[in-house]
Amino acid sequence: MILAERLALIKQVGEEIVTEEELTKLLATKEEIIAYDGFEPSGQIHIAQGLLRAININKMIKAGIKFKILIADWHAMANNKLGGDLEKIQLVGRYFIDVWKACGIDLSKVEFVWASNLVKEPKYWELVIRVGRSNALRRFIRTAEIMGREQSLDKLTGAMIIYSCMQTADIFYLGARICQLGMDQRKINMLAREIGPSLGFWKPVVVSHHMLMGLKGVQISKETLTKEEKMRRINQLKMSKSHPESAIFMTDTYEEIKAKINKAFCPEGVVEGNPILEYYRYLIFESLEKLKLTKLKICRSLKFGGDLYFSSYEELEKNFVNKDVHPLDLKENLVDYLDRLLQPVRDFFRTNAEARNNFERVRKFQVTR
């Protein structure tokens, strides 16, 4: 694959790339390039962490990138996930890995790294301290949203500040030249770019992927808003396991998927803040080969005009805006497509006794913010 093709693949993943010029230079080298992402194990995995993550990681791998996924168990403990119970957190971490194995990630170029192994190494803590010495406290407080926390002193603990130092250190300790996380992690990645050279490292390239919206969607006000303000409002309603009614989980049944999709926000002809359209764009069109389709098929009754076929998301969106496709058409077909994509995961947990036992324990855990 030539450099231009590799770059094009990564640009499909990155809603924002800082910077594209640096990424191009990095891809032109012959060195092994490592990209990193990290996950706090807490609760069940939803389709943003499962299906979308598999799509993005596989594109990065196809572009010649090796991936390291950090199972951030100690970070989750610092963030008080599952009440800070490390045993529960690590059980969820094993369940996470089972889901990724089942949903089609190319594991030949993926390494899972546990934070609980990193913290056994004195050199790791030395780097965490060096990161902590690089800036005043207020600079780390500004990164608090990476944990889903408000940036107010009375709601932050000392452990949460250590969290920010750890996540920054993780990037360099894992040798990651690319930070490939969601847009919600942008601030910590920019901190890493800021202090990397002063610590004797590099400026990691930041490839931030889109944050999949929750099913509640977001009503965009008719008032004039900047693009940044619109995105902020949408990101506030990203898919989250702390709002289970607004998330599709990787082991949801057909009936559960249908019930949630039927209640989803999808006003006729409206694109902005519409989660149903988002799922077609980022999940279904990206999975046509897996679904054994060459074009997207929207099945409809003959009395409503019969079946429709679309070669691209843009074509589907145009027809929806023109009200040639009804929200119910999209919802009914989306249920079937998501059900087909999740079936291999359900089959894995049905046939693997150990994985099934872990999952049964995990879904009883109460998720804490």
- The CATH superfamily of 227-362 is Tyrosyl-Transfer RNA Synthetase (1.10.240.10)
Q: Whose CA is closest to 177, among 58, 8, 60?
A: 60
Bridge-partner residues for 308, per DSSP? 298
Torsion of CA 291, 15, 182, 174, to 10 degrees: 100
Domain residue limits, the chain: 3-209, 227-362
The pLDDT confidence band at residue 156, using thresholds 50, 70 and 90, is confident
The pLDDT confidence band at residue 248, using thresholds 50, 70 and 90, is very high
Of residues 246 and 252, which shows the higher confidence score? 252
Q: Please compute the mean of the pLDDT values over residues 97-103 and round it to a whole number.
A: 93
Q: Which residues contact 353 (CB under 8 A, 6 or more apart)?
A: none
Q: How far is CA 92 from CA 98, 106, 253, in A?
A: 10, 21, 20
Q: Please compute the mean of the pLDDT values over residues 173-197 and round it to a whole number.
A: 94
Query: For domain 3-209, is the CATH number 3.40.50.620?
Result: yes
What letters, b where the CB count within 10 A reaches 16 and e where it falls short, cover 175-190?
A: ebbbbbbbbebbbbbb
Q: What angle do CA 277, 280, 284 make, to 5 degrees?
A: 170
pLDDT tens digits along 168-182: 999 999 999 999 999
Strands 110-114 and 66-71 turn out to be parallel
Helices 86-102 & 327-351, crossing angle to 10 degrees?
Answer: 110
Q: Please compute the mean of the pLDDT values over residues 175-201 and round it to a whole number.
A: 94
pLDDT at 53: 95
Structure tokens at 187: 């601030």
